[in-house]
Structure 1
Amino acid sequence: MGFTLKSSYALRALYKMAKSTREGKEKLSLVEIVQGNEIPRDFLEKIFGELRQAGIIKAVRGRYGGYCLARPANEILLRDVILKLDRPMNSYACLQQNGKCLEDPDCTVKYVWFRLYNAMMRELGSMTLEDLLIYGDKISEIPPESYKIPENPR
């Protein structure tokens, strides 16, 4: 269960673009976006192709071109970004086969995976790029241990 580097890179790049837009610079070059983000440029270029197709970003050609958000940050749902690039939990066969477990027709574990998947999509559907900006503004006030995944959750 989880997300790939593709989604992680996309969200980091989109965050940088949203922050730049908020600061008055709407377009960023690919070089500016990868700078300080440790994102491979060629990989980000491929990711941006998919995000352009989805209407999340726009490419502006020419000497003063670059990439910009296609919509305001508060209209870009994180779920839309993730689903364009990844299929979280796609490794579970029952989620791929419309709930029909190929290994065990009476399997009840699919109930767990469906609930987790739906909860994850609901949460991602409630968060926008603007929420990432707000979180970014407050990150220095948040103790790192508050968002650390516990080894033995209780």
Structure 2
Amino acid sequence: MNFNRTTEYALRILSYMALHDDVICSAELLYAELKIPKKYLQRMLTDLSKGGFISSSRGRNGGFSFVRDIKSIFLADIINFSEGVDWAPKCIFGFKECALDSPCAIHNLWTENYIAQVKMLTTTSLADLKRQVSAG
């Protein structure tokens, strides 16, 4: 699956924050660690705040933290927020008419793969990612 840059950055930001959820992450820390252009990062943090994923706190020890438990934030939630709900891939061969009633040569194999990917994205939370990284 190919996602737009905004989605990739949203996944990076929230995954990093999940791995470090014991601290409030400042924009400067996220910039230094993730190498996302500053203006883009600032816009992303604002959008993720408006989307109900994170909140900001001001002041000397301010930064960003999760609004909800990371167990309840699934990868598909982040993708749906960033890509919109219609992020299903198009025909791998580029045919506009590829569908169940007029499939291309690889349609059935691709559909199986796509279904497996969607299942993984809808059942994997940020807490799951943190657990996997912690386990090594």
- TM interval, shorter chain, is 0.7 to 0.9
Q: Which residue is 1:55 aligned to?
A: 52
Matched residue SS, 1:71: coil
Contact 1:76 1:129 in 2 (8 A): yes
Distance 2:116 2:50 in 1: 26
Which of 39, 43, 62 is 1:42 aligned to? 39
CA 1:102–1:137 in structure 2 vs 1: closer, same or farther (change >3 Å)? closer
Contact 1:18 1:133 in 2 (8 A): yes
Deviations 1:45-79 (A, max 9, x none): 22222222221111223443211111111111111
**Larger relative contact order (Cα-Cα within 8 Å, sequence gap ≥ 6):** 2
Q: Which residue is 1:30 aligned to?
A: 27
- Are positions 1:127 and 2:124 aligned together? yes
What is the CA-CA distance between 1:125 and the residue it aligns to?
1.0
Q: Which residue is 2:21 aligned to?
A: 21
Contact 2:98 2:107 in 1 (8 A): no
Q: Which residue is 1:137 aligned to?
A: 134
Uncovered stretches (5+) of structure 2, i.e. residues with no partner? none
Moved more, 68-77 or 46-55: 46-55
- What does 1:100-111 correspond to in 2, within 5 Å? 103=97, 106-109=101-104
- Are positions 1:72 and 2:41 aligned together? no
Contact 1:52 1:59 in 2 (8 A): yes
Distance 1:111 1:48 in 2: 38
Contact 1:13 1:34 in 2 (8 A): no
Deviations 1:70-117 (A, max 9, x none): 111111111101111125445x28xxxxxxx86478522496466554
Matched residue SS, 1:67: strand
Uncovered stretches (5+) of structure 1, i.e. residues with no partner? 94-100, 140-154
Distance 1:84 1:104 in 2: 26
Instruction: Give the count of matched residue pairs.
Output: 128
Q: Which residue is 1:147 aligned to?
A: none
Distance 2:50 2:44 in 1: 10
Write out the 4+ residue segments of structure 1 that deviate beyond 6 Å after TM superposition. none
TM-score of the pair, normalised by structure 2 = 0.74
Contact 1:74 1:130 in 2 (8 A): yes
RMSD, aligned CA: 2.7
